Amino acid sequence: MAGNRQQETVSLDSLSAQQLSAVKKQLDEEVESLSGSYSQLAAAQSKFRECLRIVKTGTASFDDKKDILVPLTNSLYVKGKLSGPDRVIVDVGTGFYVEKDTKSAADFYEAKVKELGANIQELELIVQNKSNSLRMVEEVLREKVLAQGTGGQAAQA
């Protein structure tokens, strides 16, 4: 039944200033929330792009015999050695790690970047539509407030 739910279209002119204010507040909150989601998706995509760059360029230049620094935190490192520059351990989400060869890891990250790119584009359209709706509501609300102001002044005169 929920899938059959239809949206009802209401003319903005038929709403009171108070109702328009409530709609404006809801749209403001939705745009803010969606913008936050957009930022999170963009940050995740950037992280995956960096992983992809490192997998494609970084591991081939590592030497098995050279020491490397392994980060334990953002500011704490220990010395280590690569067990093999042709294999990497990939965080596939929800705390699961999988060992992959560099080509499989690159394919994984490319797919993630592409998927997030599609999600970002979809979200951009939604934010744009919500922003347009918000501008329309603000314009109608402004007109109603001005009409009430001039109507009240005419009645007093």
CATH 3.20.20.70 is the classification of domain 20-58+86-147: no
Reduced to 3 states (helix: H, G, I; strand: E, B; else coil), residue 116 is helix
Give the model's pLDDT for residue 1. Answer: 44
pLDDT digits (tens, 9 = 90+) for 66-123: 788 888 998 999 998 877 778 889 999 898 999 999 999 999 999 999 999 999 999 9
Which pTM value belongs to this model? 0.74
Q: Where are the domains of the chain?
A: 20-58+86-147
Strand partners, 148: none
Name the CA dihedral angle for 95, 98, 103, 105, rounded to a multiple of 10 degrees: 0
Contact at 8 Å (CB) between 33 and 126? no
Burial class (CB in 10 A: 0-12, 13-18, 19+), 48: buried
**Digit-coded pLDDT (tens) for 25-65:** 999 999 999 999 999 999 999 999 999 998 988 766 666 67
